Structure 1
Amino acid sequence: MWELVRAGGWVMIPILLCSLGAVAIVAERLWSLRRARIVPAELMPQVQQWIKSDQLNDDAVLRLRRHSPLGKVLAAGLASRHLDRAAVKESIEDAGRHEVHELERYLNTLGTIAGVTPLLGLLGTVFGMIRMFSALTSAGVGNPADLAHGIAEALITTAAGLIVAIPALAMHRYLRGWVADIVVEMEAASIALINTLYGGGFPATPSAPRRRSPKARAVAS
C-alpha cells in the first residue's frame, strides 16, 4: 500500500487526506442522523396527550426543547401557543430552518471532497505524463524505468481520486435524501401540532354580503 502511495507522488497526500475526511464525515452523519434521535416516534403522541389533557406547562416545553431536534421545533411552536395560528406557524418555521441547517452540517464538505478528488487525480495524471515526456526528452526510450514511473504515477493518482470520489458522491446523495425524508417527517409533526392546537382547518374568512338586484328585492318584498 505504501509503495503505491509513494509511486503516486505528492498528489496522493491530499487525496489520502480527502479520503480520511470523507470517512469521518460519513461516520459522524450516519450516527447523528439516526431517526430515533432526530424524530422519535413516541414524541408527537406524547405532546398531543399533554395538550388534550391540559398538562402542558413551561416545564414540559423546556423538557421538550432539550429532548431532540423535533422537540426543539415543537417547543418553539408551543412557546407561542398563546398567540394566533400564524405566529405559531412562523415560530415553527424559524426553528425548523435552524434544525435543517444542523442536519445538513458537513454535507457541503462531503460534496466538495467528491468533486475535488477526481481533479486531484487528474492533476497527478498530468504530472505523471510530464515526468514521462521529460524522461523521453532527456534519455529517449533507452531508460524504461523512468517511463514506467511516469505512467505509474499517472494511473495511480487517477485511480486513487476515483476510488475516493465515487463512494463520497454516493454517500453525499444518500445523506441528502436522508435529510430530506427527516425534514418531511418534521413538517408532518408540525402540521399535526398546529391542528391539535387550533383544529383541523383554517378559520373561514367571512365574506362580504352580496348586493341583491332591484328585481330580487322586489320579489323578496
Structure 2
Amino acid sequence: MFHLLQVTTTPIVDSLHKTAASIPPVEEKISMWDMLQKGGFLMYPLYFLLVLAIFFFFERLIAIRKASKIEPNFMNIIRDNILSGNISAARSLAKNTPNPVAKMIDKGLQRIGKPIDAIEKSMENVGKLEMYNMERNLSILSLVAGIAPMFGFLGTIVGMVQLFYGIASTGEYTLNTIAGGIYTKMVTSATGLIIGLIAYVGYNFLSTQIDKTANKMEVASAEFIDILQEPTK
C-alpha cells in the first residue's frame, strides 16, 4: 500500500518542481529617490547647488527677457519727435519705457546740445550699467557648473574610502562589502556631472540672450547718433 502511494505522488512532486522552475525570477526594482539616497550625505550640497542653478536661471531669464523687449516703432517715434523739435515728448516716451535701450536714449536726450562725443560717452556709461544689471547673479550659474562636478569627484573619493574600510573591517571582498562604496561613488559622480551640465548650458544660453540685447542697444545707440546729425524740420 505504501509502495503504491509513493509511486502515485512522484509525478505530482516532479510537476511542482517543473512549475517552480518555469516561473521567472522577480526583478527587484529601485526608485530614483532610493538610488539618490544611496549617494550619502554629499547629495545634500548637490541638491542645494541644483536649487541654486534652477532659481537663478529662471530669475535671470525673466529679467533678461523683460530687458530685451523693445517696441518696433520706439526709435521711429523718438526720431520724429527729435526732428520736429519736441524733445520733451521724446524724453517722456523714453522714461516710460522700462528697458535698457530706452534708458540709453533718455541719457542721450538729456545731453542734446553737447558734443557728439560727450553724448556717446554718457550713453555708453548707461549701457555698461545696464549690461551689469543683466549679468548680475549670472556668475552663480558659472560657479555651480564648476563646483558640482567637484562635489561628485569628492563623492568618488568618499566612496572609495568606504569601500576599502569595509574590506579592511570584514576581511572579505564580497559584493555586499563593496556595494555601499560603489553606490556613493557612482551616484554622486553622476549627479554632480548632471547638475554641472545643467548649470553650464543655462549659463551659456543666458549669455547668448544678453549678447542679443547688447546688440540691440548698440544698434539703437548708433541710430540715435545718426538722428542727432540729421537736419531738424
- Give the TM-score taking structure 2 as reference length: 0.79
Q: Percent identity, please.
A: 29
2:220 maps to 1:186:
no
Residue 6 (structure 1) shift? 2.2
Alignment gaps of 5+ in structure 2: 1-31
Equivalence for 2:94: 64
Question: What amino acid sits opposite 2:133 in the alignment?
Answer: E
- Mapping for residues 1-221 of structure 1, pairs under 5 Å: 1-34=32-65, 37-57=68-88, 60-67=90-97, 68-141=99-172, 144-199=175-230
Cα distance, 1:62 vs. partner? 4.8
Larger radius of gyration: 2
> Measured at CA, do residues 25 and 6 of structure 1 come closer, stay the same or move farther in structure 2, by a change above 3 Å?
same
1:132 counterpart letter in structure 2: L
Q: Answer whether contact 2:67 2:100 (CA < 8 A) is retained.
A: no
* 1:71-120 deviation per Cα after TM superposition (whole angstroms, max 9, x unaligned): 11111111111211011001100100000001112211101101110001
- After superposing on structure 2, the runs of 4+ consecutive aligned residues of structure 1 that deviate more than 6 Å are none
- Give the Å deviation of 1:65: 3.0
- CA offsets 1:5-63 (integer angstroms, 9 cap, x no match): 32111111111111111111111222222267543333212211211222211x64255
* CA-CA distance at 1:187 after TM superposition: 0.4
Describe the shift of the 1:10–1:66 C-alpha distance in structure 2 as closer, same or farther (beyond 3 A). farther
Contact 1:64–1:75 under 8 Å retained in 2: yes
Query: How many residue pairs get matched?
Result: 199
Tell me which residue corresponds to 1:212. Answer: none
Whole-Å separation in 2 of the counterparts to 1:89 and 1:96: 10
In 2: Cα distance, 1:98 partner to 1:62 partner = 21
Aligned-partner Cα distance in 2 for 1:122–1:142 = 24
State the alpha-carbon separation in 2 of the partners of residues 149 and 12 from structure 1: 14
Q: Which residue in 2 is equivalent to 1:209?
A: none
**Stretch of structure 1 that moved more, 148-157 or 165-174:** 165-174
Q: Report the aligned-residue RMSD.
A: 1.9
Letter in 2 for 1:105: R
Q: Distance in 2 between matches of 1:47 and 1:94?
A: 20
